[in-house]
Amino acid sequence: MFEWKKKNDEGRGTAQVTSYPDGAELQVVKRLYKAISSVGKDAAEVRGALEDTQRVVEGQSAAMSALGTQLQQVSAAQDAIRQATRQTGDAVQRAREALGGVGDEVGGIVQTLRQVTDAASDITKIALQTRLVAFNASVEAKRAGEAGRGFGVVADAVKDLAGQVERSSKAIIGAIATLDERVERFSRELRSDAADQQKQSAIHQAFADVEGDVRAIAHSADQSGSTVLALNERAGALEREVQHAMRGLGTAFACSDRFLRLSEELIEQIAETGLDIEDSPYIRGAQEAAAEIAALLEQALATGKIDTARLFDEHYRPVEGTSPAQHLSAFSPLAEQLFPQVQERLLQLSDKVVFCIAVDRNGYVAMHNRKYSQLQRSGDVVWNTANSRWRRIFNDRTGLASARNQRPFLLQTYRRDMGGGRFVLLKEAAAPIVVRGQHWGGLRLAFNF
């Protein structure tokens, strides 16, 4: 028979075996252990699926938020377009009014040119009359003979000058007539009725085309604004749905974590009975390795290889250009020197062992197993994630729980991210590393099912 009792106030149970009736109950417990282990595996798979879904939903949430921002920017741009079209329409109207004023001014110029033409015509008539008078005077001078010779010279000069004036005035009349025709045509174009499409001038047609284009732009802006408004409302609704889904995922995560932790606690309780179950070798291996690491660190303190401040250093310095991000600490060189002798040996415990690492209480891995402690490849994040896992901080749920566990051992089931969307389902036994009575971190021993 089995007698079970609580071990402490943390709510974690342990069992002490007082007798084994021919191994019958032992077989029952082992079957129970296998069933619970299977449940834990399924719970870890469910939690992993929830994590995948959460990443998708978070991505959708970020996309919806970005879309909302972009829609606001589009809406602001549409408002600016509508304002610009209104200003353009007003400017065209003012140009039309100014054009009408120009037409009136041009009409005044036409009248002035006609006055100039009339004046030039009068000059022509006067010049003609002057020529006639000068001609008559020249005839009379010739009749007067020698006495009228000087008068005749003057009369001839006057006649020639009058001819020049007549020719000039006619040239002015001709030039003004041409100019008058052009100005009159321009004036008619400026004053043409824009409503009469048949008589509409090229200038007014150009203004009409501009107004039509402005109206088309304003109409498109209004339609686009309506579309953006509808999209904005839909985006808001979708974002609310995404937020609701995230809250649902949070609830599912909490349930999944409780379920997973319950299965882990049941397995731990069975392991604490002292029964030899499948996980027992890994639990003992983790505990023994944790003790060895602690002894090595205490020896390093004793020999002066490192002091307490550097051993418990939490100032992690980023390694520039690394992805995923790597860090260095004051105890990194010592870890690289001491830890492999323990960590590499534990890999030989079973072909199921995936890794064995010592981490500080924040989940920082100064030195991983050698096969996972390769130098990073620039730009190859997927390869780095799988093969360059040292000098990194694993402060996820599993990593922190193992790093900060201070009970004799901790069993967990989880998915390990190998990069590129690849995950491996693992179990992990962790044991605390205590140096001179101070909790330094934990020994993590991960293995396959």
Domain ranges of the chain: 28-276, 279-449
Write down the pLDDT at residue 262.
Answer: 67
pLDDT tens by residue, 63-75: 667 766 766 777 6
Angle at 173 between CA 172 and CA 175, to 5 degrees: 65
* Low-confidence winner among 228-237, 332-341, 367-376 (lowest mean pLDDT): 228-237
Q: Please tell me the distance from the alpha carbon of residue 158 to that of residue 168, in angstroms, as a whole number.
A: 15
Q: Please tell me the distance from the alpha carbon of residue 342 to that of residue 292, in angstroms, as a whole number.
A: 7
pLDDT tens by residue, 377-419: 999 999 999 999 999 999 998 899 999 999 999 988 887 776 6
For the residues 174-184, what does the mean pLDDT come to?
73
Percent of the chain with pLDDT over 90: 33
Q: Residue 309: which residues within 8 A CB-CB, separation 6 or more?
A: 330
- Estimate the crossing angle of helix 202-272 against helix 24-143, to 10 degrees: 170
pTM above 0.75, yes or no: no
Establish whether the linkage from the previous residue to 333 is cis, with ω within 30° of 0.
no
Tally of CA atoms within 13 A in the half-sphere of 417 that contains its CB? 19
Write down the pLDDT at residue 388.
Answer: 96
Q: Tell me which CATH code domain 279-449 carries.
A: 3.30.450.20
What class has domain 28-276?
A: mainly alpha
304: left (phi over 0), alpha (psi -120 to 50) or beta: left
**Alpha-carbon dihedral sign for residues 132, 135, 141, 145:** negative
Choice between 449 and 381, residue whose per-residue pLDDT is larger: 381
Write down the pLDDT at residue 342.
Answer: 98
